[in-house]
Amino acid sequence: MDTQVLRWRTEHAFTLDVAEFDAAAAQADQPEKRDDCAVARATLEKCAALYRGDLLPALDDEWINSHRERLRKKYADLLLRLIRVCESTRDYPAAIRYTEALLVQDPLSEASYQMLMRIHALSGDRAKALRTYQRCQPYCTRI
């Protein structure tokens, strides 16, 4: 057997984290899951928990980069929706947590810093809003 070939043994039970994430994201996109805040939040939180970071980070082949970017974007979109749901229900600690997770994905995102500052201000913590501004100042052109 060639050592460069991977053979999948389908007779054994298996799961793929990417397939689970895609399935959960598809569920989150169903209209009935979006209309009820509690259901939407639970579904989106399940998706967020399933994302485990970049797909096959050790590989730098062109074929994997497009899949990696698609998953990254889907995760960021799901986080944005989750942040909106948490903010709309005034669960600011959760909204802050998810916004911080979004900043881990893209630490140079001016929009994410703005969102985080707004949520800190809405929660009544102006000091954290100011610290967030100071944290992003070296990266952001204007806020």
What is residue 141's predicted lDDT score, i.e. its pLDDT?
A: 63
What 3-state DSSP class applies to 136?
helix
Q: Walk me through the domains of the chain, giving residue ranges and CATH numbers.
A: 17-136 (1.25.40.10)
Question: Both tokens of residue 16?
Answer: 């793929």
pLDDT at 79 over 80: yes
Band (pLDDT 50/70/90 cuts) for residue 60 is confident
What is residue 10's predicted lDDT score, i.e. its pLDDT?
A: 77
Average pLDDT, the chain: 89
pLDDT at 81 over 60: yes
Distance CA 2, CA 131 (A): 55
Question: Both tokens of residue 93?
Answer: 């600690």
What is residue 143's predicted lDDT score, i.e. its pLDDT?
A: 47
Identify the residue with better confidence: 18 or 143. Answer: 18
What 3-state DSSP class applies to 26?
helix
pLDDT tens-digit series, residues 61-71: 888 899 999 99
Cβ atoms 45, 28 nearer than 8 A: no
Which residues are CB-contacts of 102 (< 8 A; sequence separation ≥ 6)?
A: 76, 79, 80, 83, 109, 112, 115
Q: What is the pTM of this model?
A: 0.84
Query: Among residues 101, 135, 104, which one has the least CA distance to residue 117?
Result: 135
